[in-house]
Every structure is written in structure tokens, then in C-alpha cells.
Amino acid sequence: MTTLVRPYGLKKVKKSLIKMVEAQFGNYKITDIYEDKDGRAEILNFSVDNTKKILLILTGIKNQKGKRDKFITLFDFDVEKVIFTMQVKDVGIIGRLKSNIYNFVGGHIYFNNMVIKIRYDLITKSQIEPIKENQVFDHYSKVLKIDRNETVQTGTPF
């Protein structure tokens, strides 16, 4: 991810861009993958779901109070287009995405002994009414029964 400073009206705004680096024996290729269309948006963090070929992108846009409104965007690699964008207000989800201490696999965000499922099935259906934040994210806690002295093996989604 690179961040550039660009003029936006009379202000200077940080503009972010996600690039993909493909390393091969003896050479490499850099490809621009995603740039937000809103000139005010700054990419705060992102993650890749390699099973579904989707980028989960957390962006921030400064509002009139000088604070950042947070948005998530799902970008499909295969069709090279944004499939979903929405403002997120849940501080738990925002904090988890900003921390990048999770695994993003198959539309699920795995961390500790919890899972947040992103409802791809609802997102991909054509909707007359906008989908609410609590409909997009399903939260599951204590997914595995783990005793106090037990741990989960490294390399698993948890």
C-alpha cells in the first residue's frame, strides 16, 4: 500500500493505493489493484481473502467535525470491481480491522476464539433497500470449547 498527498480543492489529502507485487524467479511485476474513487478517502488497512479472491478494505474519510468516518469496501479480484461499500460504526469491527490481528478466510474474520462472518450471500443479491451493518456481520464467540490450559495450534484460522 502506498500513500500519496494530493490536492483536493484548497486542501491536501492523503490518497492511498493498493498494489500487488508478483515475485518470480529473477524478476517481479507490480500492478495497481485498488484506488478509492473518493479523493478524500485514505486506506487505513486491508486484508486479502485468497479463497474468494476478495480484498477487505478499511478506509477513512474526514467528516465536518475533523474525525474520520470509517467505511469497508469489498473488492473482487476476478471481475476487478467493487462489489460492496458501507459505512461502519461498530467500534469492535473497526478496531479489529485497524489492528490487522486476524485471519480473513472464506468471508470470515477469525481472531481469538471468535468469528465475524461477512454475509456475502446478502451482499451479492440485488437489494432494493440498503443492507444494515448488523445484517452484514454475524458475530460468533467461543467457537471452540477450550479449557483454560488449552491452546489452538498455530497455522489455523484462530
Tell the residue number behind the cell numbers 474474520, with chain if given: 109
- 3-class SS string, 94-145: HHHHHHCCCEEECCEEEECCEEEEECHHHHHCCCCCCCCHHHHEEEEECCCC
Q: pLDDT band for position 117 (50/70/90)?
A: very high
Residue 142 C-alpha cell reads as 467461543
- Under the banding of pLDDT at 50, 70 and 90, the label for residue 149 is confident
pTM of the model: 0.78
Mean pLDDT of 103-132: 85
For residue 129, is pLDDT > 80? no
pLDDT above 70: residue 26 = yes
Predicted confidence (pLDDT) at residue 90 exceeds the cutoff of 70: yes
d(CA 37, CA 25): 34
Q: Cβ-count burial of 113 within 10 angstroms (0-12 exposed, 13-18 middle, 19+ buried)?
A: middle
Q: Among 5-9, 41-45, 74-78, which is the least confidently predicted range?
A: 5-9
- C-alpha 39/C-alpha 114 separation (Å) is 35
pLDDT in tens, 95-108: 999 998 899 999 99
Q: Does 132 score more than 70 pLDDT?
A: yes
pLDDT digits (tens, 9 = 90+) for 59-81: 998 888 888 899 999 999 889 88
**What is the rounded distance in angstroms from the CA atom of residue 79 to the CA atom of residue 24?**
24
